[in-house]
Structures are given as structure tokens and as C-alpha cells.
Amino acid sequence: MEKRVKNKIEGFLKRIKEIFGERILSCILYGSVVKGTYNPKNSDINLIIIVDRFEAKDLDAIRKKVSKYALKNLIRPFFFSEFFFLSSTDIFPIEWKDIKENHLIVYGNDLTENIKIENENLRIELERKIKQLFLDFQQELIFEKNKILILEETVKNLKFLIPLIEECVGEKINIPEISNKDKLENKIDELLKFFSDIIILIEKNLGRRKK
């Protein structure tokens, strides 16, 4: 971790400790700093702070004592109770899986060890994301005129989503490439088939929960 990032986090922790004291159970760093893609100009410093209880007066104290420091240093904190944190794996399975696999404990205990991700929850979240992208693609093709731009934007979004799917299903996925030289209709057909194949791949590898 870069010294300047470490100093920013330490400054944040000092202020948070003045509010919560021994109620802080853990402070977890995740995101670009941990993954090595941090850019000091525009990257957030992502922190999860787990406390044993969270009261209304804490929000006011954070606003008064911490918010300006956090905004100035691009620190993005989220506050959870231990129960809230560990019971959210079904709601945010992709995000929590990433946190479990890519994090650094900067204070307290490593509560990520207790994170348990179910394949069914991963399947639901991945399908929701890919199907929403497909629906957006379909609507834009119907109502927008610049189809080349639609194709390019869809592929751009796929390049963000597909690595998550690859990690979960354990297979390499080749995303269709878009070129101005391509016949438009053929490329649209290729992407439509790609969406269908990805949905089948997710269900095949992660499977639906049997009743």
C-alpha cells in the first residue's frame, strides 16, 4: 500500500475511533487499492467499518467530524453491524465474493472469513445483470438510431461483466468484437446469440436450486 494512501486511512481511522471507540470490530479495505489499480486522481479508497451497534447520534457525529475529511481524500466508507454484513451475501453475492477474495484488514478482526457465498445466489445475480443488459440492448435497438454506437456500448458493458461470469463459471468467454466493417445485421444476430449462450452457461455451471 502506498504511504500516502496509508496515511489517509490512518487519518480516517483516528477520527472514526473518536466516535465509536471499542465498538469498532473491523475495518476492511477493498477495491482498487487492494487490486493494484488505484489512481490517486480519481479512485476511491473503499472501506467497510463493522461496529457492534450503530446509533442515530453516530450519523450526526460522522457528518460533523469525518465527512469533510472523507470527501477530501476520496474515502468511501460503509458502516455495518456484524449481522448486517454477514447476512448480506445473498443480496450482494458478487460484491461480497470479491471482498472476501480481495481485501486487507486495516483494523480489528477479519470477519470476511465468515462470508459464505451460495451458488444459487451467484446465479440469480449474474442472470439478473446479464438479462438487464440484454433488455437494454433490445430496447435501444428498437428506439435508437445509431446502432453501431449501441453495439459498441453493449460490448463495453459486457467487458465489465464477463470477467465476473468467467470467474464464477470457470470458463474463458470470448466477447464478440465490433468493427465498422462488419455487416450490422450479422453483428446484432451474433450478440443476440451471445446473450442466450451466456445465460445457458450460467445455469449450466451454477445450476438452479432444486425444490
pLDDT at 208 over 80: no
For the chain, the residue count is 211
* pLDDT per residue as tens digits for the range 16-39: 999 999 999 999 999 999 998 888
Q: Looking at residue 184, what is its pLDDT? A: 84
Distance between CA 119 and CA 206 in Å, rounded?
6
Supply the pLDDT for residue 185: 85
- The pLDDT, as a whole number, for residue 135 is 95
Whether residue 127 is predicted with pLDDT greater than 50 in this model: the reply is: yes
Domain covering 3-114 in this structure, CATH number:
3.30.460.10
Q: Are 27 and 7 spatial neighbours (Cβ–Cβ below 8 Å)? A: no
The three three-digit cell numbers of residue 157, written as one number: 458493458
Q: Mean pLDDT over all residues of the chain? A: 90
Residue 211 has pLDDT above 60, yes or no: no
Contact 73, 12 (CB under 8 A): yes
User: Can you read off the three cell numbers belonging to residue 177?
Assistant: 468484437
Binning pLDDT at 50, 70 and 90, where does residue 206 land? confident
Q: Is the pLDDT of residue 6 over 90?
A: yes
Residue 204 has pLDDT above 90, yes or no: no
> What does the pLDDT average to over 140-162?
90
Q: Please tell me the predicted confidence (pLDDT) of residue 181.
A: 64
pLDDT at 2: 84
Res 51 pLDDT > 70? yes
Which pLDDT value is given to residue 91?
93
Share of the chain above pLDDT 70, in %: 96
SS3 breakdown of the chain: % helix, strand, coil, rounded to 5?
60, 15, 25
Compute the radius of gyration of the chain from its Cα atoms.
21
Please say whether the beta carbons of 79 and 22 come within 8 A: no
pTM of the model: 0.78
CA dist., res. 70 & res. 13, Å (int): 11
Domain segments of the chain as ranges = 3-114, 119-206
**Helix (H), strand (E) at residue 26:** strand 24-30
Question: What does the pLDDT average to over 192-207?
Answer: 88
Is pLDDT larger for residue 8 or for residue 207?
8
For residues 51-63, give the mean pLDDT.
Answer: 90
Query: Which residues fall within 8 angstroms of residue 202, CB to CB, at 6 or more apart?
Result: 123, 126, 127, 130, 165, 168, 169
